[in-house]
Amino acid sequence: MNDLAREEVTMPTAEHSEADAETGPETGINTAGTAVTRAVVRGAGHYLPERVVPNAEFAARLDTSDEWIVSRSGIERRHFAAPGESTSHMAIKAAEMALGNAGISPDSLDAIIVATSTPDLTFPSVATMVQAGLGMTRGFAFDIQAVCAGFVYALAQAQALIVAGSARRVMVIGAETFSRILDWEDRTTCVLFGDGAGAVILEAQPGGGTTGDRGILSSDLNADGRQRDILYVDGGVATTGHAGCLRMQGKEVFRHAVEKLAATARNALDRAGLAPGDIDWVVPHQANLRIIRATAQKLGVPMERMVTTVADHGNTSAASIPLALSVAVSRGQIRPGDLLLLEAIGGGLAWGAVVLRW
């Protein structure tokens, strides 16, 4: 860690560790309000490829229509990466914007975690490519693969690293090039996805141990591998030797999503000692506007408090939440001190939620 970073954050003390041990590292909440280490957002950024593809482009060559796509999913357009543009390229652009917004240098980061299911190569990780691309010469870097829940999983892991004292500043990125794993003849899937990247920088900061603290307040992670056949990619290194194409039983995934997203959101809020009425913004995974509406209704949160970008981005899997976050910050919707609930579900099935104060 460089001197700048050392000056800006307080090193964890024995007192912090004790407080964390009493309450469990997952929430960091304690009723006594004892000092704890929080993973606080220092900056955010995003990147969308230049090419915008409206629904009409699909309607021109497939048995589909703008009306069907909008009414069933809320998607109006999506961005697709240019030939030669890959997940690491987009991740680097999002990371550079986050660093610029935070006003910090790449070498003040201790770690980079990239959530992706569409890496440039089987290995090395996209995270190491981002590290090199940023000119970062220290720290550690790795990818997380939890499909659409990847960013939520990655945030929880970054928080764990920070609370444990293993890292003080962590760049968490969600980046995807789903256009490379779509079957362009399958109208039930190819109209739904897009490409892009989003990034946030988390930093260790001392908190008072109350729900008023900035930073991650709680998380809830889940998986059920018995449901792996309802959303998967039909290829891979150890089977076909090719990347494969995305396959989805949409109706089944929809059913699980509506039920499980509300449940994980409630679990995360309970752990933080908060209720849906406390939330300023829900930043949901952007798969389908109907799922976002149903989740809002189940939680009793008005649609005005749901951040939605699905109309413009489509489903960008692990990139969808950090993209929506960064866009909402740019729009002036999310402000410092706002209480956010992030939630996502996808292939695995894997799902989860994070409660954080911006």
Q: Among 190, 285, 288, 313, which one carries the catalytic annotation?
A: 285
Q: Which residues contact 58 (CB under 8 A, 6 or more apart)?
A: 64, 69, 187, 190, 191
Report the distance separating Cα 2 and Cα 4, nearest Å.
6
Report the distance separating Cα 193 and Cα 179, nearest Å.
7
Whether 267 sits among the annotated catalytic residues: the reply is: no
Closer residue to ligand UT7 (CB): 35 or 291: 291
Residue of 10, 17, 64, 333 that binds ligand UT7 (CB under 6 A): 64
CB of 56 vs ligand UT7, minimal distance in Å: 13
Closer residue to ligand UT7 (CB): 132 or 311: 311
The answer to whether residue 148 forms part of the interface with ligand UT7 (CB under 6 A) is yes
Closest residue by beta carbon to ligand UT7: 250
Closer residue to ligand UT7 (CB): 110 or 343: 343
Q: Among 55, 79, 101, 148, which one carries the catalytic annotation?
A: 148
The answer to whether residue 298 forms part of the interface with ligand UT7 (CB under 6 A) is no
Residue of 291, 334, 339, 341 that binds ligand UT7 (CB under 6 A): 291
Residue of 5, 41, 272, 287 that binds ligand UT7 (CB under 6 A): 287
Report the distance separating Cα 187 and Cα 183, nearest Å.
8
Q: String of b and e for 194-227 (b: at least 16 CB within 10 Å)?
A: bbbbbbbbbbbbbbebbbebbbbbbbbbbeeeeb
The answer to whether residue 125 forms part of the interface with ligand UT7 (CB under 6 A) is no
Closer residue to ligand UT7 (CB): 232 or 358: 232
Closer residue to ligand UT7 (CB): 125 or 189: 189
Contacts (CB under 6 A) with ligand UT7, residues 193-252:
250-251
CB 79 within 8 A of CB 26: no
Beta bridge partners of 198: 46, 174
Report the distance separating Cα 145 and Cα 257, nearest Å.
19
Strands 350-357 and 339-346: antiparallel
Return the DSSP state at 355. Answer: E
Whether 2 sits among the annotated catalytic residues: the reply is: no
Contacts (CB under 6 A) with ligand UT7, residues 246-285:
250-251, 253-254, 257
Per-residue binding letters, 24-63, with ligand UT7 (x by CB under 6 A): ----------------------------------------
Strands 51-54 and 77-80: antiparallel
Report the distance separating Cα 116 and Cα 32, nearest Å.
39
Is residue 251 packed enough to be buried (19+ CB in 10 Å), middle (13-18) or exposed (0-12)? exposed
Q: Among 55, 101, 267, 315, which one carries the catalytic annotation?
A: 315
Total residues belonging to the chain: 358
Closer residue to ligand UT7 (CB): 72 or 305: 72
Whether 256 sits among the annotated catalytic residues: the reply is: no
Q: With CB under 6 A as the rule, give the number of residues binding ligand UT7.
A: 20
Q: How far is CA 161 from the centre of its chain?
A: 17
The answer to whether residue 316 forms part of the interface with ligand UT7 (CB under 6 A) is no
Helix (H, G, I), strand (E, B) or coil at 205: strand
Return the DSSP state at 234. Answer: S
The answer to whether residue 356 forms part of the interface with ligand UT7 (CB under 6 A) is no
Residue of 206, 207, 209, 346 that binds ligand UT7 (CB under 6 A): 346
- Residue written as tokens 């076909």? 240
Name the residues annotated as catalytic: 148, 285, 315
Residues of this chain that bind ligand UT7 (CB under 6 A): 64, 68-69, 72-73, 148, 187-188, 191, 250-251, 253-254, 257, 287-288, 291, 315, 345-346
